[in-house]
Amino acid sequence: MTTSPAIAVRNLQKAYQDLAVLRGVDFEVAAGSVFALLGANGAGKTTVVRVLATLLKADAGTAVVNGFDVGTQPAKVRESISLTGQFAAVDEILTGRENLVLVARLRHLEGPGAIADRLLERFSLTDAGRRRVSTYSGGMRRRLDLAMSLIGSPPVIVLDEPTTGLDPQARLEVWQAVRELAEHGTTVLLTTQYLDEAEQLADRIAILHEGRIIVNGTLAELKQLLPPATVEYVEKQTTLEDVFLAVVGRTSEDHR
């Protein structure tokens, strides 16, 4: 017995006048997995996302999300997904809880207050829930944005470069939130230009280059594309990220 993929893309093509952005993109995302679409700026990642979210029409090819064709069943696709862009789409004047309640009401869900409280707890925002979002850190805003994307329990979450512009500590907070999404069975399509982000989070990684998928596989499979590394024993050097997180953590403890 086989399970249909949550996302299936076949020969996706898109051009802007004479500029071909997507040149025949193919990939599948298994249900309940984290799939990273890795590529440099301009590789076509956001164009793929916009097509999957029914915000842009492809010139050729097909894309199916949660069993629905993006070209012929766009309303069903939009009911199946939640899209989180590069910048948190939160209202800074409202509190974190009010943002969540607002979205729940817009989706005509029962018990919006209870829904908000559950999501605040799930994303470790309960203590900050009654504060205005304008006081939140970048990582807190992104976690709130992810919480808002889960209202209505969409089976597919699309994260378009979710850690762009975040500091190292905030990135780690977002990574943990993405891991928790997958643990709860949500399918996550993650676009990123950060290699370490794909390595840390993804079950499968596809590299998009000049509008085409050039490799697609698990991290272990991709590593097999290179010759075996020569084993050398060297002293581990402390990285700047190690220092940053250690100092920030110690300072936070001193102020408790």
State how many domains the chain has. 1
Does a structural domain hold residue 54? yes
| Category of 32 on φ-ψ map: left (φ > 0), alpha (ψ -120 to 50) or beta | left
Q: If DSSP codes are grouped into helix, strand and coil, which group holds residue 6?
A: coil
Burial 222-238 (b: 16+ CB within 10 A, else e): beeeeeeeeeeeeeeee
pLDDT exceeds 60 at position 253: no
Does a structural domain hold residue 107? no
pLDDT cut 90: percent of the chain above it: 52
Does a structural domain hold residue 29? yes
pLDDT exceeds 50 at position 8: yes
What residue has token string 């679409």? 37
Query: Which tokens in the block code for residue 73?
Result: 């069943």
Tell me what pLDDT residue 244 has.
58
Q: Which domain holds residue 206?
A: 7-88+153-254
Q: How confident is the model at residue 45 (pLDDT cuts 50, 70, 90)?
A: very high
pLDDT exceeds 60 at position 254: no
Does a structural domain hold residue 113? no
Q: How confident is the model at residue 176 (pLDDT cuts 50, 70, 90)?
A: confident
Phi, psi of 154 (to 5 degrees): -65, 140
User: Mean pLDDT lowest for which of 20-29, 30-39, 174-183, 198-207?
Assistant: 174-183
User: Mean pLDDT lowest for which of 59-73, 97-111, 155-169, 196-210?
Assistant: 155-169
Does a structural domain hold residue 219? yes
pTM: 0.81
Q: How confident is the model at residue 87 (pLDDT cuts 50, 70, 90)?
A: low
Phi, psi of 52 (to 5 degrees): -65, -30
Q: How confident is the model at residue 2 (pLDDT cuts 50, 70, 90)?
A: low
| Category of 61 on φ-ψ map: left (φ > 0), alpha (ψ -120 to 50) or beta | left
The DSSP result for 117-132, as a single string, is HHHHHHTT-TTTTTSB
Tell me what pLDDT residue 247 has.
56
pLDDT digits (tens, 9 = 90+) for 55-85: 999 999 999 999 999 999 999 999 999 988 7
Decide: 88 and 160 in contact? Cβ < 8 Å: no
pLDDT exceeds 60 at position 256: no
Decide: 107 and 92 in contact? Cβ < 8 Å: no
Decide: residue 193, CB within 10 A, 0-12 exposed, 13-18 middle, 19+ buried.
middle
How far apart CA 55 and CA 187 sit, in angstroms, is: 20
Residue 14 sits in a domain of what CATH number?
3.40.50.300
How far apart CA 245 and CA 122 sit, in angstroms, is: 23
Tell me what pLDDT residue 1 has.
45
The DSSP result for 195-255, as a single string, is HHHHHHH-SEEEEEETTEEEEEE-HHHHHTTSPPPPP---PPPPPHHHHHHHHHHHHHHHT
pLDDT digits (tens, 9 = 90+) for 102-130: 999 998 999 999 999 999 998 889 999 99
